[in-house]
Amino acid sequence: MYSVRMRAAEGGPHEQGGFHISGGETLVPKSVLEETARTYVQKALQHSRGDADFIQVIIEKVSAEHLIRIAPLSVSTIAVQSVEEGHLKAAKCLQNAGVSEKAIKKGIQMLQSTTDLRGAMIVSALTGERLDYRGERGVRATRMGWSKEGYARWSAMHPELSSPRVAEAIVLATKVAHAPFLVAELCWSDDPEYVTGYVSCREKGYVRITHLKEKGDFAGGRIFFVAEDLEIESLIAYLEQTSVLLT
């Protein structure tokens, strides 16, 4: 298996102030490596956030014995009619997962004011304080993907959700949900054309909420709410280095 990771920006590399356009992440066998890299380049060049002039694709081989194989989270959808209703539903899901009202309020405010976040913010589930101190870089979950058989079976069970966007989100949410110290995740896309977001955790699964931002809004990102006994280096090592395959 190979880990394929892409990031794209406009105005130069992210480290030199470039505006984040898009990213992608998967694990694939060698037989589809070239096709996957090409797909990610096309995604970077055709994204609604802007015109990428910096595209980086990283490919690394992953040894089979280091792969952790897990099942995808269960999936459910909450249909809402407005952003306000969506935020109320998201807050209820996060509360049920163990996130405090204070942390939920701060988290939503953070995502509403963030337009250039490349990874995720690690936030206390109790106080709502950000703990990773990485600014716009954030913490990016990497080295994860579907097995071919696993995705075929899952998409047959969920034909209405079998799009590349949802498939990638399920992979990421599942890996994150199995992270040490993780309480819950809140996410909505920074893509101005996509307004659906989700709340996820290991116990409650992946809960799609159909309206968490207004169309045309560039704000968005993801928050990993964590427990008070957090060992942040252990969490980041899992998110960035552990290879996870959904089966």
For each of the chain's 247 residues, which pLDDT tens digit applies? 999 999 999 998 988 888 888 888 899 999 999 999 999 999 999 888 888 999 999 999 998 777 999 999 999 999 999 999 999 999 999 999 999 999 999 999 999 998 888 899 999 999 999 999 898 889 999 999 999 899 999 999 999 887 888 988 999 999 999 999 999 999 999 999 999 999 999 999 999 999 999 999 999 999 999 999 999 999 999 999 999 999 9
Domain boundaries, the chain: 2-61, 68-246
Q: In whole angstroms, what is the distance from residue 3 CA to residue 25 CA?
A: 7
Q: What's the pTM?
A: 0.89
Residue bearing tokens 């990638």: 168
Whether the CB-CB separation of 9 and 52 falls below 8 Å is answered with yes
Q: How far apart are CA 157 and CA 139, in angstroms?
A: 32
Task: Please check whether residue 126 is in contact with residue 103, taking contact to mean a CB–CB distance below 8 angstroms.
Answer: yes
* C-alpha pair distances (Å), 179 with each of 25, 106, 236: 17, 22, 9
The rounded distance, in Å, linking the Cα atoms of 184 and 93 is 9
Q: What is the pLDDT of residue 209?
A: 98
Q: How far apart are CA 11 and CA 20, in angstroms?
A: 9
- Phi/psi-derived region of residue 243, left when phi > 0, alpha when psi is between -120 and 50, beta in every other case: beta
